Copies of this chain bind each other. A is one copy, B any other.
Amino acid sequence: MAPRIFTHNHPVNPEMRAARMGHRPLLLWFTGLSGSGKSTLAGHLELRFHQEGLHTFLLDGDNVRSGLNRDLGLSTADRNENIRRIGEVAGLFLDAGLITLCAFISPFRKEREALRTQFGDRFIEIHVTTPLEVCRQRDPKGLYAKSDREPLSCMTGVDAPYEPPQAPEIQLDTTHLSLDACTLLLFNQIAPVLKKGS
């Protein structure tokens, strides 16, 4: 038995919420290998926006994998459902008028392109291109070491695929730049887009 969906025309619409926020809602989508710096960068970019008086939210493994998506594993089907749900939730946050930062490995090109189709020019794809060897050396979570000990670890870049974006809005390799420099670089590229007509 499928649910019955009817559309209310609610008096407050996404445009009104965005106007109240005073800036465009944008979806800033960070993709890259584990250890590339996605989540750290997203957090510091959020702080930079926050300091500017803008309204933000950050979605990453911390608040999604432990809550909404705690029923999902690492199979390809579950990874796809993980990103599907995150995309839907990100869409709600855009409707709420927020600058929404998402930091997920999101290894599959097809699922990221689906987000681009869904959100149009509100979708900014940020490929954190830090190479696998550097991510391996950092290994902040010990996951690469673990994947070397355990075959079939589903570790992206080791025994699970990563399909790099072909035309991301922004590319950033964190190997030789400080966190502050990376954050400033991102801020300077994104800030002008926030002020354009919605």
Contacts and interface: CB of A to CB of B under 8 A. Distances in A.
B95 A96 contact: no
Nearest to A61: B5
A89 B63 CA distance: 10
A143 B4 contact: yes
B56 A68 contact: no
Contact of A73 (B3, B47, B91): B3
Contact of A63 (B12, B62, B95): B95
A176 interface: no
A55 to B, nearest CB: 6
Given A3-B72, A67-B91, A92-B93, 17 more contacts: A1-B74, A3-B61, A3-B65, A4-B143, A5-B66, A6-B62, A6-B141, A7-B62, A8-B60, A12-B43, A12-B46, A12-B47, A20-B55, A63-B92, A67-B92, A68-B85, A93-B93
B8 A62 contact: yes
Contacts of A47: 11-12
A2 interface: yes
Interface string A17-35: 1001100000000000000
Nearest to A21: B55
Q: How large is the interface on A (under 10, 10 to 19, 20 to 34, 35 or more residues)?
A: 35 or more
Contacts of A10: 39, 43, 46, 58, 62
A50 interface: yes
A1 B75 contact: yes
